[in-house]
Amino acid sequence: MLRIGLTGNMGSGKTFVADIFQSFGIPVFFADKEARKLFSHDKIKIQIRGVFGNEVFDKEGNISRSQLAAIVFRNNHLLAKLNRIIHPAVIEEYKNWLEHYPDVPYTLYEAAILYESGHYSDMDRIICVTAPEAVRISRVITRDGISPEEAKIRMENQWDESRKAEMADFLIVNDGIKEVKLQVEQIHQQIILLTKSAS
């Protein structure tokens, strides 16, 4: 079974692409969604409280992800600390998840910071979803209900899209013009061929 990484910067539409792969029967591990779930775990709460204090917690004792985001996306040092708490826990969840799919030709690991985290080196191949910056900003503003300035600040914490695209094995252009499903289908077929040659 091949482990395929799926990445792309904020607003590229990688989750939309992942959903298409799922429609072809390919299991997808959504790393960013799993990371959000981890914020409710007591162990993670203790670690985050130790780094960020009580100001990122609401009255019920839950982590305010919007408050946390407002802090870390303006401070690379704190963002790195947060990632050191969350990323290992996500990888542990991923390893456990993989055990449920021993007989599939390949699985997808969908993550925004696949390259930034260094986890790309554990993948057999990488797919990068790209979109023009203006399109990505518009999508993030609509999705997260934030200002254009806030969207740009968050994006600055990710590698440049061109760098990711250059390192990837496959590219998908999700600019609202090119047919995405056709691109996914073509890559799916190429990966299936790879799995056959590897077996």
Average pLDDT over residues 167-172: 98
**Could you tell me the domains of the chain?**
2-27+101-198 (3.40.50.300)
DSSP SS3 for 120:
helix
Nearest to 112 by CA among 191, 185, 15: 15
The pLDDT score that the predictor gives to residue 40 is 92
Residue 19 has pLDDT above 70, yes or no: yes
Residue 199 has pLDDT above 70, yes or no: no
C-alpha angle 138-146-175 in degrees, rounded to nearest 5: 15
Nearest to 12 by CA among 140, 192, 158, 154: 140
Both tokens assigned to 87: 């990323």
Task: Give tens-digit pLDDT for 137-150.
Answer: 999 999 989 999 98
CA distance 172 to 7: 10
Average pLDDT over residues 149-156: 89
The pLDDT score that the predictor gives to residue 141 is 95
The answer to whether residues 135 and 12 touch, using CB atoms and an 8 Å cutoff, is no
